[in-house]
Amino acid sequence: MSLDDIKMRIAKACKAADRPEDAVSLIAVSKVQPNARVDSVLQEGHRTFGENRVQEAAGKWPEFRETFQDIDLHLIGPLQTNKARQAFELFQSIHSVDRPKLAKTIARLAQEEGHCPHLFIQVNTGAEEQKAGIAPAETDAFVTECRSMDLPIEGLMCIPPVDEEPSLHFALLAKIAERNGLTGLSMGMSSDFESAIALGATHVRVGSAIFGARAYG
Ligand SMILES: *Cc1c(COP(=O)(O)O)cnc(C)c1O
């Protein structure tokens, strides 16, 4: 698959869902990929990328930014509070806000820095023990809490359980977002971004379908 193929499939899925093509942002997930592959996607003109670890992002993106303008970087993995300041410097969006302690840290940093990345609340739609994210039943209260701290919550994010039909999780996330008046939906990966778009995704996070299989991670 190439970047162009994925863009074409996104356009097709938008059309099928009667949504405008620019309703969906493609986040190219570059975690663990060799720099040469990332470089070639940058050469093709793509600027929106996702990383799941602060440390890894810090090791490669400052250098890419010296060469390529307007890079829009999204943190899609868990964030420890002691890495939040570094995340502020590196990322334009954070998709993994999932607990009050982290929300408070982000609110304090936003005060100090005078700006804040776009924020998505991660919802653990499958209620999986090992997975990050706030429980679906606690999400409404958490959205309210974040808003009371003036955090710019753009939407919700989920990673469905691997062995379940993702559409059910996408539909649940869309429902929770709607009742909270949130328009952003970060959902859909290489294997299921078309069904995510059918259910309202505004941000799809596609890694291996663009870059090829990851060696690990
Ligand atoms: C790795 C990752 C992706 C991309 O996965 P692919 O299956 O390679 O498209 C998307 N979202 C998150 C949170 C990830 O960690």
- Rounded distance from Cα 205 to ligand 1 centre (Å): 6
Q: Specify the ligand 1 atom closest to the Cα of 191.
A: 7
- Across the chain, which has 217 residues, the per-10-residue mean pLDDT values are 93 98 96 96 98 97 97 98 98 98 98 97 97 97 98 98 97 98 98 98 97 77
pTM above 0.95, yes or no: yes
Q: Residue 86 burial by CB count (10 A; 0-12/13-18/19+): exposed, middle or buried?
A: middle
Query: Which residues are CB-contacts of 164 (< 8 A; sequence separation ≥ 6)?
Result: 126
pLDDT score for 215: 76
Domain 3-210, CATH homologous superfamily name and number: Alanine racemase (3.20.20.10)
Most distant CA pair in the chain: distance in Å? 45
pLDDT score for 214: 84
Q: Specify the ligand 1 atom closest to the Cα of 29.
A: 4
pLDDT score for 48: 98
Using CA atoms, how far residue 132 sits from 55, 162, 185, in Å, is 18, 14, 17
Closest CA to 59 of 22, 31, 28: 31
- Rounded distance from Cα 30 to ligand 1 centre (Å): 9
Domain boundaries, the chain: 3-210
pLDDT score for 157: 98
Q: Specify the ligand 1 atom closest to the Cα of 206.
A: 9
pLDDT score for 101: 98
Q: Provide the 8-state DSSP code for 144.
A: H
- Rounded distance from Cα 206 to ligand 1 centre (Å): 6
Give residue 194's identity as a one-letter amino acid code: E
